[in-house]
Amino acid sequence: MATFLKTTEISIDGARTLPREYYTSPEIFGHELEHIFTKRWLCVGREDRIPNAGDWFTQQIGKESIIVLRDREGGLRAFYNVCRHRGTRICEEHSGQFSSTIQCPYHAWTYDLEGRLIGAPHIRVARRAAVKIPQQFASPDDLGLLRLPACCLRPSP
């Protein structure tokens, strides 16, 4: 088993903290977002925060808001917090519980807990009105919430 030492208990000759700009520079932060935070696994919370199907919380990662939720099968899922219709933010709160669906507050597009689009009232209206529907709206399967990889790390038994 690894031994962890408090930083205050470690003395390394010549060690220094990072220069100030590493804590304040928007350019360095942008570089970190591009090369680290959008490319690597990030710990966003403990899974016991969302024990039941439909439980969710949001996490800001750079400019993006992410929804992390427990699906119907008990799995963890993560989606961009953006409706596929007009880009409305779906969850404005930090946590909560979806019933069995996720509904956008703007035009009521509705997704299941796996992120699939299962209801889009205005698409039917648009089709009846013979409005040309853009190619990306051709199939509801193409219009699910944009997914991110999610997993839970557990200690070995």
Per CB under 6 A, residues contacting ligand FES are 83, 85-86, 88, 104, 106-109
CB of 36 to ligand FES, least distance (A): 31
Q: Distances from the Cα of 62 to the Cαs of 29, 39, 79, 116, 117, in angstroms?
A: 9, 12, 15, 25, 26
Report the C-alpha gap between 14 and 22 in whole angstroms.
Answer: 19
For residue 131, what is the DSSP state? P
C-beta neighbour count of 143 within 10 angstroms: 20
CB of 105 to ligand FES, least distance (A): 7
C-beta neighbour count of 128 within 10 angstroms: 8
Report the C-alpha gap between 132 and 138 in whole angstroms.
Answer: 10
CB of 141 to ligand FES, least distance (A): 17
Comparison of 108 and 131: residue with beta carbon closer to ligand FES: 108
Comparison of 125 and 151: residue with beta carbon closer to ligand FES: 125
Comparison of 108 and 125: residue with beta carbon closer to ligand FES: 108
Strand partners, 57: 68, 95
CB of 104 to ligand FES, least distance (A): 3
Comparison of 79 and 109: residue with beta carbon closer to ligand FES: 109
CB of 93 to ligand FES, least distance (A): 16
Cα within 13 Å of Cα(31), Cβ side: 8
Which residue, chain included where needed, has tokens 């190619």?
135
Comparison of 33 and 89: residue with beta carbon closer to ligand FES: 89
